[in-house]
Every structure is written in structure tokens, then in C-alpha cells.
Structure 1
Amino acid sequence: ARESSLFCIPKENSGARINISEGSCPERIVTITGPTDAIFKAFSMIALKFEEDINASMTNSTVTSKPPVTLRLVVPASQCGSLIGKGGSKIKEIRESTGAQVQVAGDMLPNSTERAVTISGTPDAIIQCVKQICVVMLESPPKGATIPYRPKPASAPIIFAGGQAFTIQGQYAIPHPDLTKLHQLAMQHPPFTPLGQTTPGFPGLDATTPTSSHELTIPNDLIGCIIGRQGSKINEIRQMSGAQIKIANATEGSAERQVTITGSPANISLAQYLINASQSTSPPI
């Protein structure tokens, strides 16, 4: 409902160009382009439209407390460190000066090098917050290439019964021959792994490409950002890039750790970028 309300914002009113991604996805990307003043005006109009939707939904509701307007921005991971600031100083300053709640996600959005920044509050607080975030992003441009977040279409639920696969559409179970064949193959040859594909997120990285190794050094004080809690970040980088990544044990007297990346040139290049992006960001605030 909130998405459809954006179509009610005339482009000539804000002076900005507003594009909404297509597809039957649970969420869609709204891209606003134009002069800085026009972008801020468009954000203001969107925030006010969301507030109208909230007021309308509360007309016949028994809820007494009014929920805040919430926007979710998509920001390159390499810029999130500047947005958070040293020890969280910058994001704290933005919260205090605007009155908006700001949360930077700890993990990157699926199959991308972008992170979600959630803003909530009054329309005025949100627009002031967006202005300050834009200033930070202009002062600290993204590093390296950015893999944009693309929401996946909503997939129909699948069930397996009697050796066949069915997709659920409304109240009906529709037979799906292709999924049935895959299911039967998986049962005959477990575990089933697509050949020639190292990572489901990036099908262009082919396992038949010759592998090589690349070494780099990481300062000890940044190695934690790459490993993550209980290895969550390094495992995410391995999965997204399709590369093998080994971190050498700490050496006494050394201020750096050796990192070895093995895979195809595309695997290694993507892994390097993700590692660099992790170094430039901080844990979620």
C-alpha cells in the first residue's frame, strides 16, 4: 500500500525523477534522482504520504499510539563506516540533532555489497536525517565497485507429496514437472549440487575457470571486522564470492595477519572487494 501511494506524487511537484523497480517482490526499490533540493523535497513528500497512510489506517483501529514513519535506505557498505563514525560518534550526532531513530544493518543485503539504513520518526525528523546522511555520502564516496541489491520475486510455496512437486497458488496445489525431476534426481544422488556453479548468488562465476591464489595482509585491529561474530562475516564473504579464504594465525611481534584467497580471478576480485568493504565498516550501531 505504501508503495502504490508513491505513484500519487507528481514528478513536477518535487522536480526529481522517481523510479520504482518492477516485479512482484515483497519489497521494491525506489530510486530518486535530480538536484539535491529536489531529492530532499521528494523525500519530504514521500514521508508525508506515508504519514497519511498511517493516519488512514488508524481511523477504525483500536491502537492508541501512533507508529512512526519508517524509511529504509540502501547504502553501499563501503560508505557505512563514515556514516557510523569512530565509535559511533557520527550516527549519534545525527540521531541527537534530528530526533530520528537511525539503525545501520550489520550484514549486507542478499547478493549485494549494500547495507540497509533504517530511519524512523516524524516526517520532519526523517527529511533532516536524510539531508545529513546525504552530506556524509557526498563527502565519502563509495570505494570500489558496488553490487546493487536486487529484491527477489516472491516465490510460491512448494510441497512434495507422492514423489511429485507442487507449487501452492491460492487454495490450489499445481503440479510442477521440472521441480519433480529435480527432486527425484536429488533423492537418487544426494547431495545434489548444480554443476559448474560455485555460488548461487553469482551464477556467472564458473567452476571450470582456472584457479589461482592471492595474498594480502590485514592489520590486527581490523581482522575482527572481517571475521565477524563466530566467523559469520568471513563465512558470508566466502559464500558470496565463491572463493576459499584462509586467515593465518597471529604471529608474535607482528601487527598484521596474512590472508590467502583462492579461486577464479572473478572469485578473488569479489572476495577482495568484500574484505575491503568489511574493513571500512564497523559493527552495527
Structure 2
Amino acid sequence: MFQSGARINISDGNSPERIVTVTGPTESIFMAFALMTRKLEEDMLGTLSGGALVNKPPVTLRLVVPASQCGSLIGKSGNKIKELRETTGATVQVAGDLLPNSTERAVTISGAPDAIVQCMRQICIVMLESPPKGATIPYRPKTTPSAPVIFAGGQAYTIQGNYAIPNPDLTKLHQLAMQHTPYTPMNQAASGFNTGADASNQISTHEISIPNDLIGSIIGKQGSKINEIRQMSGAQIKIGGPTEGSTDRQVTITGSPANISLAQYLINARLTSEVSGMASM
């Protein structure tokens, strides 16, 4: 990769996925991606059985892009992503869901190496014209199974055995949530918990309404999304059943102010992701 002049950084290898970060001048980045895609194609062909190939299989790259920039890649009514596909010949897909523990989404590009490089060039242009909005929580592949999360003193910790390990990514997400999703306690006494401790440790209950047609995006397949939100926020979350004559479902969130604010932030992120995906269809 020294031929490109770009700086290449590869994340730790103790997980199923690794993140390759490419930085430098625009042309250096394009050259680096050209070298990478051709190397990937060579390795892929080398693993196939012997004999002449009539058609080369496509190379696939998965980009990690801030969710706030994905709307620009999709374009109004999907016009921009359609243009990317038609002008470059590459297949482009923008994931509707946020990557775990982050505010980023996956953009998958598949095709011949030249098509991928041309597509990358167009995507870079769009991203330079539409910088990310707000703070970005970067995606980092998991290296260990999900662990319980607690919040104390404004910091997030994951529980591993008998130890509480500081988690800077969740701490940053928690701080962002506290800034952008303030909540109003609805029933302090409802929990039956009051030790006279600091307000940040008191248990409260908060309710929000979510349209019936969007509740599925919060629940996820077999409850995967709501369980992820519970795990990350540390809050208890209950989704009420449908009510006759109502187009909304009630969601009850119970926990400390930090837990509730983080749960609200994650729910809002899921809803924003779902609405953006629907708008691009």
C-alpha cells in the first residue's frame, strides 16, 4: 500500500471483522482502494478451483459511513444511489440499521475492481459535499460476547466476571444521549425505590408513544433490537399492546436518568434509521 501514499490502519484482529481505515489526499485514497480491490480479487480467484473462469465473481467491500451522511448517498426518492449504480456499474446497498454500539451504517459495494473504485470516487465526492452532522460514535467489531452494562459517575462499564471494565464508547454514547434526549420523570414513586441517594441513582419511569407501523423496527426480529437497547442502556423497557382506536403503542422505560436518556436516544436512532430507509424506497 506504500504505492498509494495513503495511510492505512487495520484494527485489532481479535474479532470476526476488522476495520481498515484509509486516510490521505483524495487521489491517494482512490489508489489505495484500487490496489485493495485488485488484491481481494486475486486472493478470491486464487481460492477457487482450477480451470478457466467464464465470469469473474464480484469483489465486495463494506464501507462504514456516519448515518447522518447516508441520506445524501441515497438521495431524494433514491435518485442518488440509482445514479451511483448506473454510472459506475457497481451494486450499492445502504443498510437501514445502525451498526452495533455506533451511529454509523454499512454501505456495501459489489462489482469489478474498476467499478468499485469509480463508485468510491463518487461516494467520496458526496461525503465531502455533505459533512457528518453531530457527534459520530464509531463502529468497532465486538471481540467478546455482550456483557452487562452499568452507569456510575457519568461513566459506562461492562461487567466481566467480578470486574467492572470502563467502556469509553458507551460512555460517549451516554453523554451524547444526556445532551440530546432530556426526559421528564412521570412517576418517581411508582418504582417503590427511594434511598435518599443522589438523583442520578434514583429509579424513575418515563413513557413515550411510537406509531404502530414503526414499532417493529424497535422490537426487531425475535426481539433482537429491543434486547440490544435494553442491554446498552441498562433500562427496563416494556412495550404495551395495541389499543383499539389508537395508532400508537406505549413504551414504558424504567431506570436511572442516565439509563432512560440513553434508551430514548437509542430508540430515536432506530426510528430515524427506519424512516430514512422508508423514504429511500
* CA deviation after TM superposition for structure 1 residue 43, in Å: 1.4
* CA deviation after TM superposition for structure 1 residue 91, in Å: 2.3
SS in structure 2 at match of 1:131: helix
Hey, what does 2:259 align to over in structure 1?
A: 267
CA 1:41–1:250 in structure 2 vs 1: closer, same or farther (change >3 Å)? farther
Hey, what does 1:29 align to over in structure 2?
A: 19
Say which of 8, 21, 26 aligns to 1:18.
Answer: 8
Deviations 1:14-68 (A, max 9, x none): 2221101123333211011122232222212211222232344447357643211
Q: Distance in 2 between matches of 1:106 and 1:18?
A: 28
CA 1:58–1:239 in structure 2 vs 1: closer, same or farther (change >3 Å)? same
SS in structure 1 at match of 2:138: coil
Hey, what does 2:229 align to over in structure 1?
A: 237
Contact 2:149–2:158 (Cα < 8 Å) also in 1? no
> Which stretch of structure 1 is more off in the superposition, 58-67 or 99-108?
58-67
Q: Distance in 2 between matches of 1:67 and 1:275?
A: 39
* CA deviation after TM superposition for structure 1 residue 240, in Å: 3.0
Hey, what does 1:92 align to over in structure 2?
A: 82
1:279 aligns with 2:271: yes
> Which stretch of structure 1 is more off in the superposition, 74-83 or 119-128?
74-83
Same amino acid, percent of matched pairs: 67
Say which of 172, 187, 203 aligns to 1:211.
Answer: 203
Contact 2:236–2:255 (Cα < 8 Å) also in 1? yes
Hey, what does 2:105 align to over in structure 1?
A: 115
Q: Distance in 1 between matches of 2:227 and 2:254?
A: 14
Q: Distance in 2 between matches of 1:96 and 1:195?
A: 46
TM-score of the pair, normalised by structure 1 = 0.63
Q: Distance in 1 between matches of 2:211 and 2:111?
A: 39
* CA deviation after TM superposition for structure 1 residue 148, in Å: 2.5
Contact 1:144–1:273 (Cα < 8 Å) also in 2? no
SS in structure 2 at match of 1:103: strand
CA 1:48–1:242 in structure 2 vs 1: closer, same or farther (change >3 Å)? same
TM-score of the pair, normalised by structure 2 = 0.63
Hey, what does 2:188 align to over in structure 1?
A: none
SS in structure 1 at match of 2:22: strand
**5+ unaligned residues in a row in structure 2: which ranges?**
160-165, 172-199
CA 1:27–1:229 in structure 2 vs 1: closer, same or farther (change >3 Å)? closer
CA 1:54–1:216 in structure 2 vs 1: closer, same or farther (change >3 Å)? same
CA 1:257–1:103 in structure 2 vs 1: closer, same or farther (change >3 Å)? same
AA of the residue aligned to 2:235: A
Contact 1:78–1:278 (Cα < 8 Å) also in 2? no
Say which of 141, 146, 158 aligns to 1:151.
Answer: 141
Cα RMSD of the aligned pairs, angstroms, is 4.0
Contact 2:149–2:234 (Cα < 8 Å) also in 1? no
CA 1:219–1:237 in structure 2 vs 1: closer, same or farther (change >3 Å)? same
The count of aligned residue pairs is 234
AA of the residue aligned to 1:107: D
Q: Distance in 2 between matches of 1:139 and 1:214?
A: 39
Contact 1:70–1:120 (Cα < 8 Å) also in 2? yes
AA of the residue aligned to 1:272: Q
